């Protein structure tokens, strides 16, 4: 199985959970070879590999997915987790900054995930699983990072479209939509004065741990989850409820 953006945060927890269940994992990173190798060395089991690509580069994606499939003898599970979060409030950035943020965010979060899926399907047999890591922001909006919210909304729609298209081939597609998760990326926000307000968004008074997101990903990739294909699982501790 292949996990994109696996060197840290949610991706690292996902790779660890699958390895603990006996899977061989292809650990993707863009520019963190030391973190990726450290994870590979610490995973239980054998046969794990590290692969590198900028998922915003279509040619690099194809090479990376082919490399992962070659090393593992095919792909049964692919987790689209790689993503970027760029601040670009519409009233505070220049037109050039606005365009760059939209281009870079969509290229990685949406087009990159779509390209990974296209390439991965070529290596999947019946029973394959694609799991996309979306966001609460797809539903409630991201006023300071609108391209991020839009990219995740697009990922949700893409996942549901692919769930229909790939069902005749025995491949399922599911999506998880986390709220705030305690990772290296969010620690600066959680440790800042606004950290208490962020935790208070959930009636549980906390944010998620990466392992909680990984558990849902493992479920969607399991044989028991075939009938959940096309679903989007909210993982936000009741901080945002949608109808």
Point out the residues that are catalytic.
148
Question: Distance of alpha carbon 211 from its chain centroid, rounded?
Answer: 13
Q: Give the residue from 233, 48, 234, 227 showing the smallest Cα distance to 129.
A: 227
User: Any idea of the CA torsion for 141, 145, 150, 152, to the nearest 10 degrees?
Assistant: -90
Q: Give the residue from 182, 106, 186 showing the smallest Cα distance to 146.
A: 106
Q: Which two tokens stand for residue 64?
A: 């990376």
- Find out whether 6 and 81 touch, Cβ atoms under 8 Å: yes
Contacts for 32 with CB less than 8 Å, ≥ 6 apart: 7, 8
Q: Which two tokens stand for residue 209?
A: 């741990």
Instruction: Name the CA radius of gyration of the chain, rounded.
Output: 17
Q: Which two tokens stand for residue 150?
A: 């839009």
- Find out whether 155 and 110 touch, Cβ atoms under 8 Å: yes
Helices assigned H by DSSP within 73-228? 95-106, 113-121, 137-140, 146-166, 184-190, 195-199, 210-220
φ, ψ dihedrals at 58, nearest 5°: -55, -40
Neighbours of 40 (CB within 10 A): 18
């Amino acid at each position: 199985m292949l996990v994109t953006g696996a060197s840290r945060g949610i991706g690292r927890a996902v790779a660890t959970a699958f390895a603990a269940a006996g899977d061989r994992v292809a650990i993707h990173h863009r520019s963190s070879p030391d973190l990726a190798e450290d994870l590979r060395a610490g995973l239980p089991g054998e046969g794990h590999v590290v692969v590198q690509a900028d998922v915003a580069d279509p040619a690099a994606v194809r090479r990376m997915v082919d490399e992962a499939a070659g090393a593992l003898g095919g792909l049964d599970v692919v987790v689209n987790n790689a993503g970027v979060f760029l601040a670009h409030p519409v009233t505070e950035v220049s037109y050039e900054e606005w365009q760059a943020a939209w281009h870079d965010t969509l290229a990685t979060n949406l087009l990159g995930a779509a390209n990974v899926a296209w390439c991965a399907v070529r290596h999947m047999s019946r029973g394959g699983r694609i799991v996309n890591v979306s966001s609460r922001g797809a539903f409630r909006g991201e006023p300071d990072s609108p391209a991020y919210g839009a990219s995740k909304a697009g990922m949700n729609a893409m996942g549901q479209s692919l769930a229909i298209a790939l069902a005749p081939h025995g491949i399922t597609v599911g999506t998880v939509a986390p709220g705030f998760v305690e990772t290296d990326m969010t620690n600066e926000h959680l440790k800042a004065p606004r950290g208490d307000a962020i935790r208070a968004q959930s009636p549980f008074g906390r944010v998620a741990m990466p392992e909680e997101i990984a558990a849902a990903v493992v479920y969607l990739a399991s044989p028991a989850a075939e009938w959940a294909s096309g679903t989007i699982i909210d993982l936000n501790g009741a901080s945002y409820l949608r109808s």
